[in-house]
A and B are shown apart, each in its own frame.
Chain A
Amino acid sequence: MTAPLLQLNEVCKEFALSNGESITAVDRVSFEVEENSICVLLGPSGCGKSTVLRMIAGLEEPTSGEMLLKHKPVSGPARDRGMVFQAYTSFDWLSVRKNVEFGMKVNGVPAEERRERAEHFIKLVGLSKFIEAYPTQLSGGMRQRVAIARTLANDPELLLMDEPFGALDAETRWHMQELMIEVASEAKTSMVIVTHDIEEAIFLADKIIFLSSHPGRVKEIIIPEFKAGKRIPDKEHLVELPGYADLERKIMRLMREEGRK
């Protein structure tokens, strides 16, 4: 048995309110992310899933608990946990190529290697034709692909994504989801993805961490067994599989229970 890549033990996050009280946003959350796996944090709004992701990224401090990446405690943001946000984060003053090279340049990767890796990952996300373009010339989906290529090229241990396709139209969104399946097997990247889209969660996840709301707790850890440990490359195929509908219904019920609270 291989040790997990990321381990969260009893992680809590409290936010101070202006009246002096504090509110628990994340309550004793524990889970593990295995190497080369896609883990999805799913839950209704207000369940603290984004806060959990931001704590993993080092952008927020947990109030208590332990987070280990390869057995070492996580503290502060670093290149081993690259993050893709819902909002566009392209550096508009840099070409697509320079955007993707940014992280590597910061981390002192030699120019030649930087160039090759950038070209490789830009090709992987299908933007080779636009390598010298500026992000402002690209569509929303393409800009998000730049962000993904930029993070992957920086060679993180873990790719974190906070509702990365939330701002995209439906068609672009499923293209991007299929692209992520392709990227995950191609680049052998482990990912933690936050979403509130049930279909997206089932499609991408090797493991779903379902969080309850107010405060955010792990309600259930779901392994989509019907995929039989394989990743399904396209969505039509996924929804045809026996077991998909049952799982979707089950998660919908969980969502509804939380909504009633």
Chain B
Amino acid sequence: MSDLKIPAKRRFLEVRKPVSRRQVLISAFGIWAIFFGVWILASETGMVNSLLVPAPQQVFGALHELVVERGFVGDIGISIARVMASFIMACAVAVPLGVMMGTFPAIEAIFAPFVSAWRYLPAPSFIPILLMWFGTGEAPKLALLFVGVIFFLITLVMDATKNVRKELIETALTLGANRRITLFNVVLPAVLPDVVVAMRQMLAMTWTYLVIAEIVASTTGIGAMMMRARRFLSTDEILAGILVIGVLGLLFDILFAALHRWLFPYLREKH
């Protein structure tokens, strides 16, 4: 009885079977085409109030007008500068501290109880007190972004450092390395790829806090523009702001991925 059946055709849903590149592209474009299609259809047919849900072309038109006539590029620049400044400050503290905590249990014993307690305090709850301490300038915004990111980043870096394999450290020691060399020439290069991944995740979080800071207490930046637009019922401008934030987040993510590939070519060689 030879009843061997060769499956005639691939089914659409196959468990953990990779799909072709063509199918990936069609699916990706398809979902966005449906999204915009429904959006355009809804606004063209008047199914939704065009004041609350402007058509896509209206949003792009508003974005064009904002950029060309109302100096929106300056707002975008200010937002990027805020994100970068506070993110760099947070990394400058969190990366060395996290690596030290992951390497030396004595350092971990000091800071870990402190850091893990702060992680449970939502950063936006500090906004009122930050405004009272720092006034309405740049300082409270940078402080919010800094506080919102730093404790998570410390924990991520510390955990990554603890995952550096014991044998690597012991190899260095039996080759005659002292503590300084073990830290800087073995632990640090071993953990660096994971640190860059952690930074990439936390940069996305910094953007979230930026919007909160600018919506609550700012007259400049993308978030502030959106709050101004709300007062004039300019929903197209609000949506343009959301669009810009999304595109910026995506761009920074791609940049970080490229940075990772460029910094750690040896990780690519596998497969």
Which residues of A pack against B, CB within 8 Å?
A: 57-59, 77-79, 81-83, 85, 87-89, 91-93, 102-103, 106-107, 134-137, 147, 150-151, 154, 160
B174 adjacent to A57 (CB under 8 Å) = yes
Stretch of B9-17, B175-183, B227-235, B251-259 on the interface side: B175-183
B267 adjacent to A106 (CB under 8 Å) = no
Among residues of A, the one whose C-beta sits closest to the C-beta of B165 is: A87
Given contacts A77-B170, A87-B165, A136-B267, contact A93 B189 (CB under 8 A): yes
B190 adjacent to A91 (CB under 8 Å) = yes
Which residues of B pack against A, CB within 8 Å?
A: 165, 167-168, 170-177, 181, 185-186, 189-190, 192, 264-267, 269-270
B171 adjacent to A93 (CB under 8 Å) = no
Task: Tell me the complex Cα distance, A91–B185, Å.
Answer: 10
Among residues of B, the one whose C-beta sits closest to the C-beta of A83 is: B174
A83 adjacent to B189 (CB under 8 Å) = no
A89 adjacent to B167 (CB under 8 Å) = yes
Knowing that A77-B174, A147-B171 are A-B contacts, what are 6 other residue pairs whose CB atoms are under 8 Å apart, sorted by A's residue number?
A58-B173, A77-B170, A91-B189, A93-B189, A103-B177, A136-B266
B175 adjacent to A92 (CB under 8 Å) = no
Task: Tell me the complex Cα distance, A92–B177, Å.
Answer: 17
Question: Which of A93, A136, A151 has most chain B Cβ within 10 Å?
Answer: A93
Q: Which residues of B contact A89 (CB under 8 A)?
A: 165, 167-168, 171
The 5 closest A-B pairs by CB, nearest first: A79-B176, A103-B175, A77-B173, A134-B266, A83-B174
Among residues of B, the one whose C-beta sits closest to the C-beta of A82 is: B174
Task: Tell me the complex Cα distance, A87–B190, Å.
Answer: 15
B170 adjacent to A103 (CB under 8 Å) = no
The smallest C-beta distance from B129 to any residue of chain A, in angstroms, reads 43
The contact of A136 among B168, B173, B174, B270, by CB within 8 Å, is B270
Task: Tell me the complex Cα distance, A151–B265, Å.
Answer: 25
Task: Tell me the complex Cα distance, A66–B168, Å.
Answer: 27
The contact of B174 among A59, A134, A137, by CB within 8 Å, is A59
Main SS of chain B's interface residues? helix
Task: Tell me the complex Cα distance, A91–B174, Å.
Answer: 14
The smallest C-beta distance from B76 to any residue of chain A, in angstroms, reads 36
Given contacts A92-B266, A93-B264, A136-B270, contact A106 B170 (CB under 8 A): no
Please name 20 pairs of A and B residues whose Cβ atoms are closer than 8 Å in the assembled complex, sorted by A. A59-B174, A77-B173, A78-B176, A82-B174, A83-B170, A83-B174, A85-B167, A89-B165, A89-B168, A89-B171, A91-B189, A93-B189, A93-B190, A103-B175, A103-B177, A106-B181, A136-B269, A137-B270, A151-B174, A160-B174
Q: Which residues of A contact B265 (CB under 8 A)?
A: 134
The smallest C-beta distance from A86 to any residue of chain B, in angstroms, reads 8
Q: Which residues of B contact A92 (CB under 8 A)?
A: 190, 266-267
Task: Tell me the complex Cα distance, A83–B168, Å.
Answer: 11
A58 adjacent to B189 (CB under 8 Å) = no
Task: Tell me the complex Cα distance, A82–B174, Å.
Answer: 5
B167 adjacent to A87 (CB under 8 Å) = yes
The contact of A137 among B172, B173, B264, B269, by CB within 8 Å, is B269
Among residues of B, the one whose C-beta sits closest to the C-beta of A79 is: B176
The smallest C-beta distance from A121 to any residue of chain B, in angstroms, reads 13
Task: Tell me the complex Cα distance, A103–B182, Å.
Answer: 11
Among residues of B, the one whose C-beta sits closest to the C-beta of A133 is: B269
A102 adjacent to B189 (CB under 8 Å) = no
Given contacts A93-B190, A93-B264, A136-B266, contact A150 B165 (CB under 8 A): no
A79 adjacent to B174 (CB under 8 Å) = yes
Question: Which of B167, B176, B189, B265 has most chain A Cβ within 10 Å?
Answer: B176
The contact of B175 among A58, A82, A85, A136, by CB within 8 Å, is A82
B173 adjacent to A59 (CB under 8 Å) = yes
Among residues of A, the one whose C-beta sits closest to the C-beta of B173 is: A77
Task: Tell me the complex Cα distance, A75–B75, Å.
Answer: 62
A102 adjacent to B175 (CB under 8 Å) = yes
A59 adjacent to B170 (CB under 8 Å) = yes
Task: Tell me the complex Cα distance, A164–B64, Å.
Answer: 65
Q: Which residues of B contact A106 (CB under 8 A)?
A: 172, 175-177, 181, 185
Task: Tell me the complex Cα distance, A137–B165, Å.
Answer: 19
The smallest C-beta distance from A194 to any residue of chain B, in angstroms, reads 14
